Amino acid sequence: MAVTVTAIVLIFHYIRKSKAEELLLTFSLSLILSGALGNLMDRIRFGEVIDFLDVYIGSYHWPAFNIADSAISVGAVLLLVELVRRGKERDMDFKGPRM
Please state the domain extents for the chain.
2-95
Specify whether 51 is catalytic.
yes
C-beta atoms surrounding 36 within 10 Å:
21
Q: What crossing angle do the helices spanning 2-17 and 23-46 adopt, rounded to 10°?
A: 160
Question: Per DSSP, what are the bridge partners of residue 65?
Answer: 53
Q: pLDDT tens-digit profile of 18-72?
A: 888 889 999 999 999 999 999 999 999 999 999 988 899 999 998 899 999 999 9
pTM of the model: 0.80
Residue tagged active-site, from 42, 54, 69, 93:
69
Specify whether 91 is catalytic.
no
Question: Given this model, what pLDDT does residue 92 score?
Answer: 67
Element (H, E) at 57: strand 56-57
